[in-house]
Amino acid sequence: MGAIHKVTVPKWGLSMREGKVCGWLKEVGAPVTRGEELVEVESEKIVGPVEAAAGGVLRRRLAKELDVLPVGGLLGVIADADVPEAAIDAAVADFLANFSVEAAAAAETGPQPEKIEVGGRRLRYLKRGEGDDAVVLIHGFGGDLDNWLFNHEALAGQRSVYAIDLPGHGESTKDVGAGTLDELASAVAGFMDAVGVGSAHLVGHSLGGAVALKLAANEPRRVRSLVLLASAGLGPEIDAEYIEGFVTAANRNALKPHAARLFADASLVTRRLIDDLLKYKRLEGVDACLRTLSGRLLAGGRQAMVMRDELARLSQPVLVVWGGEDQIIPVSHASGLPSSVQVEVIPGKGHMVMMEAAGEVNRRINTFWG
């Protein structure tokens, strides 16, 4: 008899406790392959797809649209076509009889963020996975390590993967100095020194991509490969209105339309995501650091530093990934790059491509490293 695989509510981010079913993407009886999207679930921060952990046939949909389940709760069942209905009944009954919300929450606790002193600043980071290969995930302007909530675990299967809060962001010290790319790159290098990582694969999104590229140009021995997601620094154009709107927005109504531009599908933006952004923006020192960074990195509404020449001089493997519907940094910046650079454009996705197309992005990065 074939195996029975349970589809459960995943834990996306450190604070997720439950998820609401937004809608199923597969009908009962439909064949599914490993990694295929089955059902959309809304966490407190964002709506995301739950992928099949194994191939087979979707035999049961236990959760209905708008149902709210705890993390680890049973959404559905995948099994081979020849598995008897009675066996699936028994597996579901056994799961429900033994499932404990408390036990599931305890099991899902996992690693917690830590803070470390780097050049007189305290930086927050979260480490997942083990292995000699190290990876550093670097978020974009106004983001934090939670930007990787759909990617971090998936990339940590065979590696030590560190997600950091850049200076001025998240729970790191709100001090960006002069706000230059050199300073931010130096902070990442200092973090690597502090945690004992001599060289690493760097994965950078937006501003984080420019930081990663700058570090590779300044200290090539520290960088084993680069993954640049909707990266800054590859062309002059940028939606300066978004940057200014994000920096100046002081309430939910002002911030929401700007946050929505980050996604091709604006419905992915939840009330909690907006509230978390506002909470961050109201922290002491954040307004000054965001203004410093935007003033330094933008000149006349355009990116102040374009590093296509530096990219051409790198000897490390480079993967560039872009959402085809990016409204912040145009996808055209992925064109005309050196032939040594692997370029992947994902149609129908926006600036937060690693969230909107998480499974696809994770697979492409793991294959690139493979």
* CATH code where residue 50 lies: 2.40.50.100
CATH of the domain at 157: 3.40.50.1820
Considering the domain architecture, whether residues 97 and 164 belong to the same structural domain is answered as no
Residues 249/257, Cβ–Cβ less than 8 Å:
no
Considering the domain architecture, whether residues 322 and 194 belong to the same structural domain is answered as yes
Which stretches of the chain drop beneath a pLDDT of 50?
A: none
Q: What is the pLDDT of residue 11?
A: 84
Considering the domain architecture, whether residues 125 and 91 belong to the same structural domain is answered as no
Last-in-domain residue among 80, 107, 134: 107
Considering the domain architecture, whether residues 192 and 79 belong to the same structural domain is answered as no
What CA–CA distance (Å, rounded) separates 306 from 210? Answer: 9
Considering the domain architecture, whether residues 200 and 349 belong to the same structural domain is answered as yes
Considering the domain architecture, whether residues 225 and 289 belong to the same structural domain is answered as yes
Considering the domain architecture, whether residues 101 and 120 belong to the same structural domain is answered as no
What b/e string do you get for 304-326 counting C-beta neighbours within 10 Å, with b at 16 or more?
bbbbeeebeebeeebbbbbbebb
Q: Are strands 302-303 and 47-51 parallel, antiparallel or unpaired?
A: unpaired
Q: What is the pLDDT of residue 104?
A: 65
What CA–CA distance (Å, rounded) separates 139 from 148? Answer: 8
Q: What is the pLDDT of residue 123?
A: 98
* Reported pTM: 0.87
Q: What is the pLDDT of residue 171?
A: 96
Q: Distance between terminal CA atoms of the chain? A: 33
**What does the angle CA 65 – CA 69 – CA 73 come to, to the nearest 5 degrees?**
115
- DSSP calls for 103-151: HHHHHT-----EEEEETTEEEEEEEE--SSSEEEEE--TT--GGGGTTT
Considering the domain architecture, whether residues 58 and 190 belong to the same structural domain is answered as no
Last-in-domain residue among 83, 107, 131: 107
Considering the domain architecture, whether residues 119 and 197 belong to the same structural domain is answered as yes
- Helix spans in the chain (H): 85-98, 101-107, 152-155, 181-194, 207-218, 240-248, 252-260, 271-281, 286-297, 308-313, 353-356, 358-369
Residues 100/118, Cβ–Cβ less than 8 Å:
no
Q: What is the pLDDT of residue 107?
A: 57
Last-in-domain residue among 68, 86, 107: 107
> Can you read off the two tokens belonging to residue 220?
């090539």
Considering the domain architecture, whether residues 172 and 272 belong to the same structural domain is answered as yes
**What does the angle CA 163 – CA 165 – CA 168 come to, to the nearest 5 degrees?**
165
- Alpha carbon separation from 93 to 73, 105, 121 (Å, rounded): 13, 20, 52
Other CB atoms within a 10 A radius of the CB of residue 267 amount to 10
What CA–CA distance (Å, rounded) separates 160 from 303? Answer: 32
Query: pLDDT of 211-234, one tens digit each?
Result: 999 999 999 999 999 999 999 999
Considering the domain architecture, whether residues 328 and 280 belong to the same structural domain is answered as yes
Q: What is the pLDDT of residue 13?
A: 73
Structural domain boundaries enclosing 43: 4-107
The set of residues, in sequence order, having a beta carbon less than 8 Å from that of 40 and lying 6+ positions away, is 21, 22, 23, 25, 47, 48, 49, 50
Considering the domain architecture, whether residues 99 and 119 belong to the same structural domain is answered as no
- Domains contained in the chain, number: 2
Nearest Cα neighbor of 62 from 19, 32, 96 is 96
